[in-house]
Amino acid sequence: MAYVIDPKQCDACALCVEECPVNAIHLSDQAPFVIDPTECTDCGSCADVCPREAIRGG
């Protein structure tokens, strides 16, 4: 299961985007960022760097 970003917690700092080794995190119209489940490898790097703990899953 891919990681997901809670848009209510996310402050759009983009640390997760920079950290993602497979570029699975993208800008979205509905939220600052979304994680594409078809690209996410469940490595957890994004969740590890999120200062607001807005990323869950794996």
Query: How many domains does one find in the chain?
Result: 1
pTM confidence score: 0.90
- Domain residue limits at 37: 4-56
Tell whether the model's pLDDT for residue 26 goes beyond 90: yes
Under 8 Å CB-to-CB from 21, ≥6 apart: which residues?
Answer: 41, 43, 45
Q: What is the CATH number of the domain that holds 18?
A: 3.30.70.20
Q: State the pLDDT confidence band at 30, using cuts at 50, 70 and 90.
A: confident
Mean pLDDT of 3-26: 97
Under 8 Å CB-to-CB from 38, ≥6 apart: which residues?
Answer: none
